[in-house]
């Protein structure tokens, strides 16, 4: 009996094994799903580029950066060059406001009497920039004042007005305070324009501190196609998908266990939904190993990891006329979640949270095979393994 040449024999066995073993070894990888997973990283620190971007590159999947416009190009924050490079590699750039202000409304917690300069609030975020103008509103009356300062005492957090307030308000009436329309519009507009001035496309917004309620929510559609963090919780059902009412799940250490992440991804897979994770790379609780493990958990479930805009386009959740305001750059997207289980095995089991050598070779996957294809491929793999054993015995 003639033997195959060594080169042909190796190629046959390697091809058969590579095709069959990953599929035989993972039932999750064999299940077809139309679910999508998105990773968003807030605040635009340089760690997005130095710590997180390499993990995504190594795994062959994109992410999204929610960038604070005024921070770009300054020490310890991302540079314009880094934004452009990440976008060229398939990442999506989002706005995270101009100066990381809380643009949503905040509840007033105590009654306000005429002549007072202290306004007790749920959180004194709006003390951050003295001179900002604030609107107090109970649904019937409003008053605008200028912030001088803020602080906290035994009663709670408060803002200090430059001049005494003139209008009485009762906290039980649902009184809120927020920035003026002019300031809100300038922040929404200028953030987008500043970031696009660096040469990247911006069509999505992440509002700082998760403060999304009130007037700003009404204004967002004037400037953005998407509000990426309107509510908490990263599961977004496909049947009710709304580009202005999306939620994100914090996946850093201490917020979700690996088992909880797996269960979350199972639900995204089983319901063909959109799952969105959010992380802060300067947070010591979000290690690159956690990011890698979460990516691999998604891959094992055959979930495609994409940018938010790509996911919404896939789900037909964007209007047909919604286009970036500047021409889209060329990208090198390798986003298929089916970057093969063979690669996953070489790097470590994602369910264990371990990571492998980042120099390991990645392999891109194709569309999920059908049941008949799986049977044929498995048979081919078995033949390949049998042939390998036979040649070794010979």
The average confidence (pLDDT) of the chain is 81
pLDDT number for residue 387: 42
Select 33-99+183-314's CATH number: 3.40.605.10, 3.40.50.1980, 3.30.1490.190, 3.20.20.370.
Answer: 3.20.20.370
Q: How confident is the model at residue 284 (pLDDT cuts 50, 70, 90)?
A: confident
Alpha helices in 271-357 (DSSP H): 288-300, 308-314, 341-347
| Domain coordinates in residue numbering, the chain | 6-28+368-393, 33-99+183-314, 109-174
pLDDT number for residue 321: 58
**pLDDT one-digit tens code per residue, 195-220:** 999 999 999 999 999 999 999 999 99
pLDDT number for residue 328: 42
pLDDT number for residue 320: 73
Q: Given a cut of 50, is residue 299 above it in pLDDT? A: yes
- Measured over the CA atoms of residue 70, residue 71, residue 75 and residue 78, the dihedral's sign is negative
What is the pTM assigned to this prediction? 0.75
* Structure tokens belonging to residue 139: 């649904």
Q: How confident is the model at residue 386 (pLDDT cuts 50, 70, 90)?
A: very low
Average pLDDT over residues 290-297: 98
pLDDT number for residue 295: 98
Average pLDDT over residues 239-244: 96
**pLDDT one-digit tens code per residue, 80-122:** 999 999 999 999 999 999 999 999 999 999 999 999 999 999 9
Greatest CA separation found in the chain? 103
Provide the CA 154 distance to its chain's centre, in angstroms: 37
Average pLDDT over residues 373-384: 41
Provide the CA 295 distance to its chain's centre, in angstroms: 12
Structure-model confidence comparison of residues 284 and 291, the more confident one: 291
């Amino acid at each position: 009996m003639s033997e195959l040449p060594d080169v042909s024999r190796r190629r046959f066995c390697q091809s058969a094994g590579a095709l069959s073993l990953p599929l035989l070894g993972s039932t999750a990888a064999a299940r077809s799903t139309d679910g999508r997973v998105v990773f968003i990283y807030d605040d635009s620190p340089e760690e997005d580029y130095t710590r997180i971007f390499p993990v995504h590159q190594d795994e062959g999947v994109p992410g999204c950066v929610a960038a604070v416009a005024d921070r770009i190009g300054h020490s310890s924050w991302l540079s314009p060059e880094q934004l452009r490079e990440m976008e060229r590699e398939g990442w999506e750039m989002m706005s995270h406001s101009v100066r990381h202000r809380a643009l949503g409304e905040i509840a007033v917690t105590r009654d306000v009497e005429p002549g007072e300069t202290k306004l007790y609030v749920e959180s004194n975020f709006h003390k951050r920039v003295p001179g900002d103008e604030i609107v107090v509103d109970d649904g019937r009356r409003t008053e605008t004042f200028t912030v001088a300062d803020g602080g906290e005492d035994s009663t709670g957090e408060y803002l200090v007005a430059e001049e005494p307030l003139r209008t009485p308000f009762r906290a039980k009436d649902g009184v809120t305070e927020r920035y003026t329309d002019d300031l809100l519009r300038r922040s929404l507009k200028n953030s987008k324009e500043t970031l696009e001035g660096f040469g990247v496309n911006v069509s999505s917004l992440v509002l700082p501190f998760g403060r999304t309620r009130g007037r700003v929510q009404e204004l967002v559609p004037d400037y953005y196609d998407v509000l990426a963090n309107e509510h908490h919780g990263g599961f977004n059902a496909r049947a009710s998908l709304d580009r202005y009412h999306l939620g994100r799940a914090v996946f850093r250490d201490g917020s979700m266990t690996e088992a909880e992440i797996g269960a979350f991804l199972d639900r995204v897979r089983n319901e063909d939904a959109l799952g969105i994770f959010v992380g802060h790379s300067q947070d010591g609780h979000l290690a690159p190993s956690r990011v890698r493990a979460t990516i691999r958990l998604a891959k094992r479930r055959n979930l495609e990891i994409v940018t938010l805009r790509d996911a919404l386009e896939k789900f037909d959740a964007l209007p047909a006329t919604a286009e970036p305001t500047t021409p889209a750059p060329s990208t090198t997207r390798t986003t298929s979640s089916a970057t093969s289980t063979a690669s996953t095995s070489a790097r470590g089991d994602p369910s264990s949270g371990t990571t492998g050598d980042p120099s390991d070779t990645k392999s891109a996957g194709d569309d999920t095979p059908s049941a008949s294809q799986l049977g044929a491929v498995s048979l081919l793999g078995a033949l390949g393994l049998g042939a390998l054993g036979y040649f070794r015995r010979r």
